[in-house]
Amino acid sequence: MRAVICLVLFLAMAGATADESDSQERRFDTELDRRFVLGIEAGIERFDTNIRIFDRNTGNSIYLDGEGSFGLPESKTVPTVYGAMRINEKHGLGFYYFTVHRAGTALAVNQDYGRLGVNGTVSFDDETSLGYVNYSYTLFDDNRTFIRALLGVYLLDLKMTLDAVGEVTLDGDPVQSGEYNETISQFAPLPLFGLDYWTRVTNKWYLGGKVALITGSYDNVSAFAIEAALRARWRMTDRVSLITGVNFMSADVDIKRTNTIREISYGFEGVYLGLDFSF
């Protein structure tokens, strides 16, 4: 991942050097100068999913490693859509959304997952969606750099399903049906705080970054997450830009119910490439 970050920075600096002759001073030209921006991206993301299901009655737990034990694809191409609207030079609105669909099946030979034992097959589906809507306030803006504070609502929509078929035991006792199912379906709107940064290297090339902190509780769900991205942009025309970068997300979510506590660790990191259109 460090090598990818260095590559992105190198490409941006190389473009800046090649475009050094374009030295005309002008106001910073990104989405801050446009009334509307709409973008699409495709990212190659590497996921990490771990779940602990604690039974309050027995005090025992089931431990699930999505990629390690259940055949979930570790890497996946994920489409993303985002947009922004500038109300005026200080205030703006934005959104971001992506969804992933991963499915895996694995052979379980006398596998022990804590209180769950399986001699058969296990499968795991992940159809999680993440996104946010935000208000932005410009803290600093000149002809080269801007920094914005972000305040919004992060939309966490977890959808995961575990199925085990074969010789199945729970707390050491055989499950007569030979099947075990666990479904996690939870939506939670959570507070988001962040910073968004862009700097103009030349009139064609830009470097930027974004970091967002998500923390809070909703309907017996508590979460702490962080998202970050390092980006480079090439302004192809006055209205179209090519954007590339690396991103990172890590979330810890606790879902408390009457009989169970589900502790979910969910994250990804990867590279992305996309286009945005200004109006």
Per-residue model confidence as pLDDT tens digits over 87-113: 988 999 999 999 999 999 999 989 999
Q: Tokens 């000149």 label which residue?
A: 142
pLDDT of residue 4: 46
Q: Which residues of the chain have pLDDT under 70?
A: 1-34
pLDDT of residue 144: 86
Cα Dmax for the chain? 77
Contact by Cβ (8 Å): 249, 226: yes
Residue 9 sits at φ, ψ, to 5 deg, of -65, -40
pLDDT of residue 261: 95
Q: What is the pTM of this model?
A: 0.84
Q: How far apart are CA 184 and CA 254, in angstroms?
A: 11
pLDDT of residue 32: 43
Strand locations in 202-259 (E): 205-218, 221-235, 240-256
2 is written with which tokens?
């460090």
User: How many Cα atoms within 13 Å fall on the side-chain side of residue 241?
Assistant: 24
pLDDT of residue 68: 87
User: How many Cα atoms within 13 Å fall on the side-chain side of residue 3?
Assistant: 0
pLDDT of residue 3: 42
Q: How far apart are CA 213 and CA 192, in angstroms?
A: 6
39 is written with which tokens?
């973008």
pLDDT tens profile 182-227:
999 999 999 999 999 999 998 889 999 999 999 999 999 999 999 9
Contact by Cβ (8 Å): 270, 41: no
User: How many Cα atoms within 13 Å fall on the side-chain side of residue 265?
Assistant: 9
pLDDT of residue 33: 55
